[in-house]
Structure 1
Amino acid sequence: MKIAFFSTQPYDRLFFDRENQDKRFVYQFYETHLGPHIVRAINDVEAVCVFVNDHVNREVIETLALRGVKIIALRCAGFNNVDLDAAREFGISVCRVPAYSPEAVAEHAMAMLLTLNRKTHKAYNRVREQNFSLNGLLGFNLHGKTIGVVGTGKIGKAFCRVSKGFGCKLLAFDIYEDAQVKQMGVSYVDIDSIYKSSDIISLHCPLTLENKHMISRESIQKMKDGVVLLNTSRGALIHTAAVIEGLKQHKIGGLALDVYEQEEKLFFKDLSDTIIEDDTIQRLMSFPNVLITAHQAFFTEEALTQIATTTLRNIEELLLGREPSIEDARLV
């Protein structure tokens, strides 16, 4: 079974090789993302394995079909970058990893909140320079604060469990209410109530046409002064220009991002010797109350192992004419 991997990093090779000790798969690794510029180079493979910033549009899918590709396997949960209608039209199966250690993302979201609030990243650098002053490091207690969780799927549910441990009051919004989340003492409310009542808002929902730029000028104006926003889901949930305006107006008290709308040109690359031409992210990084990590939330030993195991199992089962054993793994 031959698989072409795109947007490949060294850790992808490590974990997928580890799950292929019996050599039942033959790999081709490409560092570039999948898109119209490279799709014609694909030859003699049954599946392509893609990540969050690959462009699997209609043009790409049509070419994949002409080249005999039978499966598009996402090694992630989100699938907004794949044209599912085109895949269905051209007879290509699409699968994903719907759950790969939700705790990894939930814990990273909380780590970002704690870092942003208590300014431990700044304290670390100060002490290394023998500066032991506490001025400028003031934070607030999480205990008793209201956290609004948007999306209570596996990751959102895990974030609720973590937040309850800090003694927070939890509000949640989701199209589908989860009985287990309610049992934790979480109250489901409408989205406007999340905006109006939350001290902290954490996004844990997939990106859809309906919720793109849900964090907008209009929604920000409904929020409490000094609200803290967390996004470990998809960059386009946030209208970046509106958030910058909210930061400048001191409406937003803190912003933690593990995703960014234009991240495909930046994240997963070493640009330390490069002049970054993206003025928007440069502006974001200039704020003292903004914390950005480069799509790192999933990056744990457990999550990467699960991603490799599930992806290969999905591909194998589909090529053998069976349905994937993981619920919600198959999209087309």
Structure 2
Amino acid sequence: MNGLKGEGEMDDALGIVIAIGLALALVVALFMLVIPEPGQRAVIATERLDVAVLTFENSSSWPGVGETLRARIETELVNAPGITVFSRSRLDELLTEQMLGEVGLIDPATAARIGSLTGVSKLLTGTVYGIESRSEETTACEEWKDGECVQSVPAIAYTVRLLGQIQVVSAQTGQIEQALDVERGENVTVKQGNTFGGYETLIVQAAEDIASDMASLLTSTYTRELRYGLYRSVKPKRNGYVGEDEITRFERFDGEAYLIVHFTRIRSDDSFDLSWIDPEGNVVKSVDDIVSSRDWRLYQLDLSGLPDGRFTVSGALNGVEAFEKAFILKP
């Protein structure tokens, strides 16, 4: 019996070793496939993206939810790249002065008037038309062992769903560019005898989720993104490039400066213009390129024969400046 038990334990141990080996092999294989992104990021607005977040109407039976959603969206957009948010206090002041009151869903004439007053290009507004909340008896794990629950206790699961619609309106024409039905849910399980923080906390979390979705939508719709880096040496990898030793100081014996650009999110057949500029402001090399989303490009500058000093390399996407990177060339 002991011999049989020992063999079983050895088989189990061997199985674990094999599983770990396979997992490590998978991780290594994935690492070999992934091309690391260049260190610098540029977000380019395809059009001016100055946004004002108007009052959100609340058609639900839960007070204050419209204001909660408006505040969370405004905060998220303030932190989003490529988006400028008009001051809420100044916006509310202007609307009061113009006797527009708390503007919610608006007509084209009012939208264009607000655009003229604020100088913004987009207006965000919408409605919260429902808050669904419920609670139900359930269980929660009290004790875990070896990844399994070995003791459960009674609990209550609380759930909230926030439903609404958000509109993106052109502040020039007053036309609705996007009308989106939004819905997000949050839940929490509380062991019986513990205190539930209230549905308000779950509503705020749902509003934050919707705000994050809106920021991602505006960023992806109205901006483009690329990654770039300046390197002393580069190696090709699959359909891209990996830079080694990202720097801003070159010496003449380095031979060449290499710029890697990965066009992570752009349109097909966008134009990309690259200029290498010497310390006197003269363009020593320029490239006109046509690129599409997910393209990798390697651009290089021969350093021989160039003067010492501070150079810059700048890129423009569809005529809009994307980045400007300075570097030093030493003897």
Give the shorter-chain TM-score range: under 0.3
Whose strand proportion is higher, 1 or 2?
A: 2
Q: Please give the TM-score of this superposition, normalised by the length of structure 2.
A: 0.25
Task: Name whichever structure is richer in helix by fraction.
Answer: 1
